[in-house]
Structure 1
Amino acid sequence: MKNNQEYLLSSVKNALRLLRTFTMDEPEKKVTELAVSLGLGKSTVSRLLATLASEGFVIKDPETQKYRLGLSILHLNTVLTSNLEINRESDPILQRLVQEIGETAHIAVLEGMDVVYLNQVECKHPVKILSHIGRRNPAHCTSSGKVLLANSEEKVIDQYIEKGLQKYTAHTITSSDDFRAALKSVKEQEYAISIEEILEGVASIAAPIRDYTGKVVYAITVIGPVHRMNPHNISIINKVKNAAKEISDRLGYWKNGSI
């Protein structure tokens, strides 16, 4: 039998797993759905939900009997995002980039096998795309993901390719040789494009952001519909690359005299 400490640690882990099951695509779930997705008993899930609800981390809809995230999550998110240096330093540059190009701009980071969007400034006429703050997307079919992978260690690239390059559209790169060649080009030219690789009708351009050591830690990306934005446009590419360099400056990269 588990001792009390092991039980508490297991409960905390399951509570965190439960919170992570809520997404933009599935913002509300019933106890049964949560139990199945987590591989836990309904009684265990019910107890976890009751505890989380008492602290405001989830809310139960009395009509649908479904749970959704509570305002306590919003408070934590506000604390986190307002104190992220990258968000503070990138905000004015993202704002300017959106004004210049007319499309939505983001800051992304590589976490595990996915890219996660940390900051976003929307354009006046945004389209529905899979890139809201906190969204996780596969790295191989996004411009920001390719930028971040291209500047990662070889073992990270190997691990990513080993798990398989899932096909999302007819334009997704699924050949390991083609993908390695693409990453090589991205690293050399210091930008990446993605044209309908993750979602039909959507294109993006990304460039690397470096910290004070010169390491690529984030990517800046501009995303828009293909009928409005040409990702091969040199003027747009240069605007994105210059924005990335300016944010790198703000993060201290200039101190090394590298920019």
Structure 2
Amino acid sequence: MPGPKVPAAQSTLRILRFLASRKGPVAASSIATALELPRSSVYHLLAVMTEQGFVVHLPEERLYGLGIAAFELSSAYTRQDPMARLGEPLLRALVDAVGENAHLAVMHGRDVVYVVEERAPYKPSLVTNVGVRIPAHLTASGRSMLAGLPPAQVRALYPDRDSFASRWESTAITTPGQLRAELSRTRERGWAVEEGDVTPNFASVAVAAHDHRGLPVAGVALTFLGHKIDDEQRAELVGHVRRTAEALTRRLHGAVPGGGG
């Protein structure tokens, strides 16, 4: 028998679902109209959710979008067994095909968390053990996912220089402008890369897997000794990574960018 309804809780969840269904942040008035809620209630609930990190307010644009806490809830789900179970056989096949270390990561706030790691025989161990967190903007897998998010959402995650502070010493990207430029290059290429930003002498290439809305939910990556892989070999590795990411997208019943199945 269902329990008593809690109007504020219902309205809060409806607002979160609505924000999750949008491609980017929206105005409070649009939320109130779409959900047929009083504007005063919408503003009050948005203020509470902003304080708790589930919603981010972009005052210059007068828009509201999902906050870091909402991303953490989402990636908490994808970090569980379903994602690992779906990804592990694909990454094993990827490693067998190319002989390099492969890993699968999901977003957790401004970090990536590694949920699958497959090591190739006789290859050096890396820092991408399952459960390890690394700032997303430094990693190929993180960049592959960030490049697929709406620009306003990226601005909400990285509003200023302080957003890039971390225990990692890399100075590859330290400002919102540098991040925008890198993500633009990533979108143009169709895949992400990092060169020694996480571990000296090592490079990584990555492609994102997507959900049913075409939004990135995980990053498939290969890591290798950069000086041992020439441009032709790197292009071949990227092709394998792309096919693996597309296969994972299909397993997730997602939308493959470019109209794939």
Scaled by the length of structure 1, what TM-score is found? 0.61
Q: Output one character per residue of 1:57-94: Cα deviation in whole Å (capped at 9) or x when no partner.
A: xxxxxxxxxxxxxxxxxxxxxxx999622222222211
Aligned position for 2:253: 252
| DSSP 3-state at the match of 2:184 | helix
Which structure has the larger Rg over C-alpha atoms? 1
Query: Cα RMSD (Å) of the superposition?
Result: 2.8
Worse-superposed segment, 211-220 or 134-143? 211-220
* 2-structure distance, mates of 1:203, 1:248: 24
**Matching of residue 165 in structure 1 with residue 191 in structure 2:** no
**Matching of residue 123 in structure 1 with residue 120 in structure 2:** yes
Q: Amino acid of the residue matched to residue 165 of structure 1? A: F
Aligned position for 2:209: 209
> Structure 1 stretches of 5 or more lacking a match?
1-79
Identity %: 26
* 1-structure distance, mates of 2:180, 2:252: 29
Q: Amino acid of the residue matched to residue 188 of structure 1? A: E
* 2-structure distance, mates of 1:230, 1:128: 21
- How do 1:11-30 and structure 2 match up within 5 A? none
Q: Amino acid of the residue matched to residue 235 of structure 2? A: I
**Matching of residue 199 in structure 1 with residue 199 in structure 2:** yes
**Cα distance change, pair 173–134 in 1 and its aligned pair in 2 (3 A):** same
Retained in 1: the 8 A contact 2:100–2:120?
yes
Aligned position for 1:187: 187
* 2-structure distance, mates of 1:90, 1:151: 20
**Matching of residue 239 in structure 1 with residue 240 in structure 2:** yes
| DSSP 3-state at the match of 1:258 | coil
Aligned position for 2:136: 139
Match of 2:146 among 149, 152, 163: 149
* 2-structure distance, mates of 1:170, 1:81: 28
Displacement, 1:255? Answer: 9.5
Retained in 2: the 8 A contact 1:195–1:231?
no
> Structure 2 stretches of 5 or more lacking a match?
1-76
**Cα distance change, pair 157–124 in 1 and its aligned pair in 2 (3 A):** same
**Matching of residue 219 in structure 1 with residue 186 in structure 2:** no
| DSSP 3-state at the match of 2:158 | helix
**Cα distance change, pair 226–256 in 1 and its aligned pair in 2 (3 A):** closer
Displacement, 1:207? Answer: 0.1
**Cα distance change, pair 172–230 in 1 and its aligned pair in 2 (3 A):** farther
